[in-house]
Amino acid sequence: MTKKEFLYRRQALLSKMAPSSGALFFAAPVIMRNKDNAYPYRQNSDFWYFTGLNEPEAALLLIKITTYQDYSVLFNRRPTLQTKTWLGPCLGQDAAPSQLAVDYSFPWDTISNNICYFLNGLRIIYHAQGQDKVSDTIVSSILHKLQNGLLQHCSSPSIVADWRPWVHELRLIKSKAEQGLLREAGHISALGHQRAIACLVPDMYEYQLEGEMQYEFNKNGARFTSYNTIIGSGTNACILHYNNNTKKIKSGELVLMDAGCELQGYAGDITRTIPVNGIFSVPQRAIYSIVLDAINLGLALYTPGTTIFQVTKKVTYMITKRLMQLNILHGNLETLIEENAVHQFFMHKLSHWLGLDVHDVGSYGQNYDRVLEPGMVLTVEPGIYIAPDASVPKEYLGIGIRIEDTILITKDGNENLTILAEKNITKIETLMMNKKKS
Which residues of the shown chain bind Mn ion in the complex (CB under 5 A)?
269, 379
Catalytic option among 33, 36, 203, 389: 36
Nearer to Mn ion, 179 or 379 (CB): 379
Tell me the DSSP string of 139-176: HHHHHHHHHTT-STT----SEEE--HHHHHHHHHSPPH
Concerning whether 359 is annotated as a catalytic residue, the answer is yes
Nearer to Mn ion, 379 or 416 (CB): 379
The least CB distance from residue 257 to Mn ion, in Å, is 12
Concerning whether 184 is annotated as a catalytic residue, the answer is no
Q: Could you tell me which of 257, 268, 292 has the C-alpha nearest to residue 407?
A: 268
Concerning whether 402 is annotated as a catalytic residue, the answer is yes
Strand pairing category for 224-225 and 266-267? unpaired
Nearer to Mn ion, 70 or 269 (CB): 269
Q: CA gyration radius for the chain?
A: 25
Concerning whether 127 is annotated as a catalytic residue, the answer is no
The least CB distance from residue 404 to Mn ion, in Å, is 5
The least CB distance from residue 408 to Mn ion, in Å, is 15
Nearer to Mn ion, 77 or 352 (CB): 352
* CB 14 within 8 Å of CB 62: yes
Q: What are the φ and ψ backbone dihedral angles of 266, each rounded to 5 degrees?
A: -95, 140
Q: What are the φ and ψ backbone dihedral angles of 338, each rounded to 5 degrees?
A: -60, -40
Concerning whether 258 is annotated as a catalytic residue, the answer is yes
The least CB distance from residue 381 to Mn ion, in Å, is 5
Strand pairing category for 270-275 and 254-259? antiparallel
Catalytic option among 223, 241, 330, 343: 241
- Cα(239)–Cα(113) distance, integer angstroms: 50
Concerning whether 369 is annotated as a catalytic residue, the answer is no
- Cα(334)–Cα(286) distance, integer angstroms: 23
Catalytic option among 42, 78, 123, 348: 348
Concerning whether 272 is annotated as a catalytic residue, the answer is no
Catalytic option among 223, 359, 369, 373: 359
Concerning whether 269 is annotated as a catalytic residue, the answer is yes
Helices then strands, each counted (H, E), the chain: 13, 19
The least CB distance from residue 348 to Mn ion, in Å, is 9
Nearer to Mn ion, 59 or 295 (CB): 295
- Cα(273)–Cα(279) distance, integer angstroms: 12
Q: Which residues are known to be catalytic?
A: 36, 241, 258, 269, 348, 352, 359, 381, 385, 402, 404
